[in-house]
Amino acid sequence: MKTKDLLAISEEFGTPVYVYDAEKIESQYKKLTSAFKGVKQLKINYAVKALSNISILKLFKQLNSGLDTVSIQEVQLGLAAGFQAEDIIYTPNGVSLKEIENVAALGCQINIDNLSILEQFGTKHPGVPVCIRINPHVMAGGNANISVGHIDSKFGISIHQIPHILRIVENTGMHINGIHMHTGSDILDVDVFLYASEILFKAALQFSNLEFIDFGSGFKVPYRAHDVETDIIELGRKLTKRFNAFEKEYGKPLTLAFEPGKYLVSEAGNFLVNVNVVKQTTSTVFASVDSGFNHLIRPMLYNSHHNIVNISNEIGRERFYTVVGYICETDTFATNRRISEISEGDILCFKNAGAYCFSMASNYNSRYRPAEVLWYEGKAHLIRKRETLDNLLEHQVIIDLKQKAVIEN
């Protein structure tokens, strides 16, 4: 997308607004599938939690992707987008047995990550195929908040509890058709990923009727200029060779599965905001915008970096700004960041705003969640309307407190 397109979108749809570039999503998807073209059976399941707009899901359906879901609501969104149940894997954490049973009744692939639910589900539904999520105890990624494969993680069944799993499978007669891991996000070192994969291969040998092995995702994308990212080509070359060798060792065809989210949509996203106020204090120049952590919480929650570009004045003289929001809390997007000179009314663009941005937005301070736009084949398509006061009130029940007091008296 070009700057003039983003400016036109901000003019047509207002700010704040999320804009997603379909061409970038498609190129990331094709880059990943191309890296693993040497695998006979490859399955990419897009992680819905990264960006769950139904139009985005329809785009992935068009690319022949499956879906990775973590809630029954995400499953229902996937079905509404046209996915078949068999193309949806459901990997919840800490949910009730009832929710898992409801998803299984829809025909989706179930992925269970704790011994208690595994035994309960296997006892009641031994004929339903189940995948098992293993925790390989591998610390991956640079941020403990997004690394989920370490020994103290709430996710997955410990690799050391394989004997417990085998006992449950034997006692219930349940059918284990897949084995899965996800170590976390921002995995840069290909060798760390391959090391965790070896643990999963070893575990897979304990189950004789597997149909697929799911290696999760967590591939790192660049956030800054000249930033490093996961070498997908190298990973594809090395893991393809190892997977094909393991398939022969296992003695039957297997599907290699991934569940990328951030890798597919992060770089496709742009978040456009308007500068409300430029405020000079004794030591800082603040650029305050018409958004806050209610719309983009990642910088405050994870200390994540998003490049910020003044697309109204891209070639202007750079100055140092602290970019903040309009929430009645500390909601700092960036501190002392070099940005082309900012004036009130300018449009700023936050890069890498495709993953875990809108999907984590809220109505804090009773602010409306923003609009979403998909840039597809050279045109801007509104895929979510900006919220209104009616949206804030529609689920609230208004009672007549005075009347209630009279009744009680």
| Active centre residues (catalytic) | 328
Question: Within a 10 A sphere around the Cβ of 92, how many other Cβ atoms?
Answer: 21
**155: DSSP letter:** S
Scanning the structure block, which residue is given the tokens 């007091």? 405
Measured CA to CA, the distance from residue 265 to residue 46 in angstroms comes to 10
Q: Which of 372, 395, 288, 391 is nearest to 333 (CA)?
A: 288
What tokens appear for 124 in the block? 């009641």
Angle at 222 between CA 383 and CA 47, to 5 degrees: 45
Transcribe 337-406 into DSSP letters.
Answer: EEEE---TT-EEEESS-SSSSGGG---GGGPPPPEEEEEETTEEEEEEPPP-HHHHHTT-----HHHHHH
Percent of the chain as helix, strand, coil, to the nearest 5: 35, 25, 40
Measured CA to CA, the distance from residue 202 to residue 310 in angstroms comes to 51
Q: Are 308 and 272 in contact (CB under 8 A)?
A: no
Q: Which residues pair with 180 in a beta bridge?
A: 133, 214
* Backbone dihedral angles phi then psi of residue 321, each to the nearest 5 degrees: -130, 150
Work out the angle between the directed axes of helices 232-250 and 190-204 (0-180°, nearest 10): 10
Transcribe 186-235 into DSSP letters.
Answer: -B--HHHHHHHHHHHHHHHTT-TT--EEE----B----STT-----HHHH
- CB under 8 Å to 52, separation ≥6 — which residues? 74, 77, 359
Q: Are 140 and 147 in contact (CB under 8 A)?
A: yes
